[in-house]
Structure 1
C-alpha cells in the first residue's frame, strides 16, 4: 500500500506523465466482489455470457453464511476466493466447498462463487490495447457430488500451461465428452466489453464454457497478466503504448 501511495503522489506532482491504466481503474480489480459486480453490470448477458452467482462472506457465523449464500443463489459446490484479487500469494489460494457442513472451513472474509463444470478447460483471454488473444489452459475437472472433502489449491498450480495437477485430470466418465470449441466472436465481444467497462488496456480474463448450457462464464479478471503465449507480445505492447501517446497528443 505504501508503494501505491508513493506512485499516486508522484503522478499528482507530475500530471504530464501518461499512464496506460489509471490507478483508480486498477483499484476496481483489487476487490473481487466489486470486480464481479462490474462484470455483471455489462450487457454481456445479452450474448449468453455470465458471471457465476457470487456473494461476499464477511461473518464466520454458519447461519449467517447460509442466509447470504441462499440470498445470492450461490450453489454447491462453490469456490471460496480471497477478497483481495491481486498483490499477494494468498490472493490466489482458494478452496472448493462442497456442502453446508464445510462452511466453517471458509477463510473469512472471502467471495463465494458457484463452481461451473467446464471439462477442465480454461481460456485465458489477453487484452492488449485494442487487440486481444486467447490461449487454452488446463483447469479444474468436473464434480458430480457434494459428498467429498474440501479441496484447497493455488490457481497457478492448476491453470499453468501443461499442468498435470490431479485436479486437472478428468474422471473416466468425462473423458469421452466432446468439448465445444471456443467462438472467437464471443471472446472478442467479451474482450471489448470488459476493456470498455474497466477503462483499461492491459487485462487478462479467465473464461470457461459450461458443459451443461454451453454458455460462456467469466470467472476472473486480472491486472496486467503474464501474457504467456501471446505472439509478438513486446512489439504489440509497444504499439499499445504508441497508441496511448497518440491519443493523448490529439487531446
Structure 2
C-alpha cells in the first residue's frame, strides 16, 4: 500500500533531479516521504491535526500509523519512524528495527529519550554545560533527590542547604498526568508530608512567567506561559503547608497577550537559546524536545532550566505545521546527500 502511494504522489524528496527555473519542482524526480508513527491516542489527537496532515500531503509527506499487531519490519517502507510510546518491549522493537534498517531515521533513539524520564539525570546536561556568555547565564536550580522515607526530608534538605520554599516534583517524568504534578512546600515541618520519590528544587522567583522553548531539529520557537507567582519573605514567614498544583504550564495559561512588565516578558536572547539548543541536541542525542526556562526575577540575564520534555505538545506551538514538515523533509534530504556523497 505504501509503495503504491509513493508512486502516485509526485511531490516529496528530490532524487537526483533539480528544481526547474522559477522554483517549480521537477516532479519527475520526486518521491513521497513516508513517516510511520507510533503515538498514544492523546498524542495523535493533539499532534496529527488536519492542518498538519494537509500541509504534509502538499509537501509530499505521508503519515502512516504503525500497526502494533504486526512486526515493524513487515510494514512500510518508512523514511522516518516518529514515536512516543513507553515500555521495554517497544524500546527493544525499535532498537532491533534500527539495527536492521539503518536507512530509516528513528525520532528519537529510545535510550536517549529514557534519559529524560528521570528528573535527576534530565537536567544534568544543563548543569554540566554551565553555559555562560555575554548574552546570559543558564543553569539549573539547586536540587536534591529523595527516593524514600519522607520523615527524613527536613534533615536532608537542611543538610544540603536548600532554602524555602521548595518545589517538589515526581522523580519519574513519563508524560503521565501524575508526572506533571508539583507541590510547593513553605515550611520545614510540611516537608514530611511529601510523597517520595521526588526531586526537590529550590524555588526561584521568576515574575510568574516561564518560557517554553520548543526545539524541532535546528528550529527554535519560544512562547510565554504563566507560572507560579513570586514568594516574598513576608509571605514565606506567614505561610505554612504544602500546596499542590496539577500542572503549571498548560495551554490555558498562555501569557502571550498579557500585559506584562517588559523586564519579565522579554524573551531570552536568541543567540543564547541557539547555543543552548545546539549543545543540548548534541549532549542529549535528541531532536524533538522542549525546555521549561525561567529568568530569575530582578535579573536580566540569569536563566534556569527547570524541566525538559521529549516530543512535547507541539500542537500548542505557533506555526508548528510548517516547522515540523520542513524538519521532516530536511532529515530525508540529509540522508540522500550522505548516500550520494
Measured against the shorter chain, the TM-score band is 0.7 to 0.9
TM-score under structure 2 normalisation?
A: 0.63
Aligned to 1:37: 124
Select the residue among 255, 270, 292 that pairs with 1:206.
292
Q: Contact 1:125/1:206 (CA < 8 Å) preserved in 2? A: yes
Aligned to 1:127: 215
The question of 1:239 aligning with 2:326 is answered yes
Q: Contact 2:112/2:284 (CA < 8 Å) preserved in 1? A: yes
Aligned to 2:27: none
- Please give the secondary structure, in 1, of the residue aligned with 2:106: coil
How far is 1:162 from its partner? 3.8
The question of 1:184 aligning with 2:231 is answered no
Q: Compare 121-130 and 141-150 and name the one that shifted more.
A: 141-150
- 1:218-243 CA-partner distances (Å, limit 9, x unpaired): 11111011124433322321222222
Aligned to 1:20: 107
Provide the rounded CA distance (Å) in 2 between the counterparts of 1:180 and 1:104: 36
Cα 1:159–1:185 shift into 2, 3 Å: same
Q: Contact 2:150/2:196 (CA < 8 Å) preserved in 1? A: no
How far is 1:154 from its partner? 1.5
Gaps of 5+ in 2: 1-86, 255-259
- Please give the secondary structure, in 2, of the residue aligned with 1:28: helix
The question of 1:94 aligning with 2:182 is answered yes
Aligned to 1:58: 147
Select the residue among 45, 59, 77 that pairs with 2:165.
77
Select the residue among 151, 154, 175 that pairs with 2:246.
154
Provide the rounded CA distance (Å) in 2 between the counterparts of 1:229 and 1:94: 21
How far is 1:191 from its partner? 2.3
Which of 1 and 2 has greater Rg? 2
Aligned to 2:279: 193
- 1:91-133 CA-partner distances (Å, limit 9, x unpaired): 1111111121011111111111111111111110000111101
RMSD: 2.4
Provide the rounded CA distance (Å) in 2 between the counterparts of 1:98 and 1:226: 31
How far is 1:194 from its partner? 2.1
Instruction: Give the total of aligned pairs.
Output: 238
Q: Contact 1:80/1:107 (CA < 8 Å) preserved in 2? A: no
Gaps of 5+ in 1: 165-174
Q: Contact 2:94/2:110 (CA < 8 Å) preserved in 1? A: no
Provide the rounded CA distance (Å) in 2 between the counterparts of 1:10 and 1:185: 37
Cα 1:185–1:17 shift into 2, 3 Å: closer
TM-score under structure 1 normalisation?
A: 0.84
Q: Contact 2:169/2:180 (CA < 8 Å) preserved in 1? A: yes
